[in-house]
Amino acid sequence: MARVSEARRTLSVDLEGLVLPTPVLGASGTFGSGMEMGELIDLRRVGGIITKSVTLKPVKGMPTPRMAETASGMLNAIGLQNPGIQGFMKKDLPFIARLGVPVIVSIAGKTVDEFIEVAQIVAGLPGVAAIEANISCPNVQSRNQVFACYPDQAGEVIGAVSRLSRLPVFAKLTPDVTDIVEVAEACVRAGAHGLSLINTLLGMAIDVATQRPRLGGATGGLSGPAIKPVAVRAVYQVARAFPEVPILGMGGITKAEDAAEFILAGAWAVAVGTANFYNPRATIEIAEGLGEILAGKGLRSPAELRGRMAHAAQVAEPAYRGG
Ligand SMILES: Cc1cc2nc3c(=O)[nH]c(=O)nc-3n(C[C@H](O)[C@H](O)[C@H](O)COP(=O)(O)O)c2cc1C
């Protein structure tokens, strides 16, 4: 195995122009804008921050309880609570602008026009490296169908946001679809710079004693280790279809081996979500561990590991579903 001197090894990744110091970011909704996290960890050692999704107007969110623990995972129904773009600019932007770490601002909306309005504002803000469009939300103009579940609706939002912004736009996809490659393709064709996958899976838990749902919103998003195999599969399928498109992989990452697994599947970088709640140092520790994995394999950078899964068996087309 080729030995690589420490001096030549880097954790930095280049997402077609968006350069990150490490490939491990904080995932949207689990890192805020980094302000509270900055009191616990050295943010300059984080690969980047993806902010909580921001909408045009403030959103109060769902009734409590908003979180419930499940086997190897967590359900949440926060309901995109956020202060709206004006509140974000007042409270979070001054902090973000002087952070010195790549910040990807996540935007959300109930209509294509709302996405456009928020994106127009975000595109003009200082200190923003990229936009992540969280299209896993309902389109009120189309029977509350989730944008990311329909290739045409996903493409419409991503096309509109990409056209108006000088910033790279990442489309955040939901795994709750029959064919995630089809949705990814619509986003790529519409002009997405990259793809973030995956968002939470739609889930539900019921308290048998009270006979009530465990979440105030009844249903919610499942995250954490329970969803990792689904996320790795989604990254693998999309990366095979679009090897030239930067992919941010996420879903259940808690340790360096998980991050390496996503990169082997084809992710260019990864984001850590749920793990931040019990280990604020997760993004930093995972990046450090990834460096050790690369060193052990004699590789110079995460890019050298990307997509290098060895095929032990014939790859089934369409994807083999077990049984
Ligand atoms: C409490 C919570 C809030 C979240 N809020 C958002 C959000 O505002 N926008 C978004 O695109 N994803 C949001 N997510 C999804 C995460 O960014 C991530 O895609 C998902 O949780 C999978 O990663 P994980 O298993 O590491 O948590 C949220 C997740 C959690 C757990």
State residue 113's pLDDT score.
97
Predicted confidence (pLDDT) per residue in 208-231, tens digit:
999 999 999 999 999 999 999 999
Axis-axis angle for helices 112-123, 84-91 (nearest 10): 20
- Note the Cα 178 to chain centre separation in Å: 20
Position 214 scores a pLDDT of 98
What pLDDT does residue 130 have?
Answer: 98
Which atom of ligand 1 is nearest to 136's Cα?
11
> 75, 199, 261, 276: which to mutate for ligand 1, most atoms within 8 A of CB?
199
For helices 112-123 and 151-164, give the axis angle rounded to 10 degrees.
Answer: 30
Instruction: Please tell me the distance between residue 200's alpha carbon and the centre of ligand 1 in angstroms.
Output: 6
**Angle at Cα 204 formed by Cα 203 and Cα 210, nearest 5°?**
170
Q: What is the DSSP string of 104-165?
A: EEEE--SSHHHHHHHHHHHHTSTT--EEEEE--SEETTTTTEEGGGSHHHHHHHHHHHHHH-
> Ligand 1 pocket, 203 CB below 6 A?
no
27 close to 51: Cβ distance less than 8 angstroms: no
Ligand 1 binding pocket includes 52 (Cβ within 6 Å): yes
274 within ligand 1 shell (Cβ under 6 A): yes
DSSP state of 12: -
Selecting among 137, 186, 222, 250, the annotated active-site residue is 137
Is residue 165 within 6 Å of ligand 1 at its C-beta?
no
How far, in Å, CA of 295 to CA of 309, rounded? 17
Cα 34 to ligand 1 centroid, rounded to whole Å: 15
Closest ligand 1 atom number to CA of residue 67: 1
Predicted pLDDT of residue 224: 98
249 touches ligand 1 (CB under 6 Å): no
Is residue 137 flagged as an active site residue? yes
DSSP 98: T
Q: Is 26 in the pocket of ligand 1 (CB under 6 A)?
A: no
- Give me ligand 1 centre to Cα 271, in Å: 10
CB of residue 174 inside a 6 A radius of ligand 1 = no
Average pLDDT in the chain: 95
Q: Which residues of the chain have pLDDT under 70?
A: 1-4, 7, 312-314
CA of 119 to the centre of ligand 1 (A): 20
Closest CA to 164 of 109, 113, 225: 113
- What H or E segment, with its residue span, contains residue 95? helix 93-97
